[in-house]
Structure 1
Amino acid sequence: MSKATIQLEALGCPSCMQKIENAVKGLNGIDPSTVKVMFNSSKVKTDFDENIVQIETIEKAIEDLGYPVIKSKVKSA
């Protein structure tokens, strides 16, 4: 599993967090128990299997909701 930290533009409301969390959890290859959306720092953290899903796919799922991704960091476990 790899760990992703995705920096977003500032989040405007708590319901934004829920939308992002649900979208990321719905992707194949994501460990749903590790998905955390941090409102104050506008970050998404999750563990994912790079053999199943790529960081670009996770970013696209977030951007498709209308939340621009500023940068992502991936650490291989």
Structure 2
Amino acid sequence: MTQLTLKVEGMSCGHCVNSVEGALKQLGASAKVDLGNGSVTVDFDAARLSVDAIKTAIEDQGYDVV
């Protein structure tokens, strides 16, 4: 498993947490949102999922990966 932490702007509430974590779960990744730091830590299989796909899934929920 690979672990990646991304800075994400625009998250502010429980709905944001559920949206991001749910979208990444659908890709087969495990994610933990930290609203205080504005970050998402993702555990994923790098052989099956790319960093670009993770970023796109977050951005598709309406948040900005910086």
TM-score (normalised: structure 1): 0.78
Bigger Rg, structure 1 or 2 = 1
Sequence identity (%): 35
After superposition, residues 26-65 of structure 1 pair within 5 angstroms as 26-28=26-28, 30=29, 32=30, 35-65=31-61
Matched residues in 2 for 1:66 and 1:45: separation? Answer: 18
- Deviations 1:29-73, CA, capped at 9 Å, x for gaps: x2x3xx211111111102111110001000000001110100xxx
Q: Paired residue for 2:20?
A: 20
Matched residues in 2 for 1:10 and 1:19: separation? Answer: 12
User: What letter is aligned with 1:13?
Assistant: C
Select between 11-20 and 61-70 the one with higher mean Cα deviation. 11-20
Matched residues in 1 for 2:52 and 2:65: separation? Answer: 10
Q: Supply the RMSD in Å over aligned alpha carbons.
A: 1.1
Give the ranges of 4+ consecutive aligned residues of structure 1 lying more than 6 Å apart after TM superposition. Answer: none
Matched residues in 2 for 1:62 and 1:10: separation? Answer: 11
Please state whether the residue corresponding to 2:56 is helix, strand or coil. Answer: helix
Structure 1, unaligned runs of 5 or more: 71-77
Size of the alignment, in residue pairs? 66
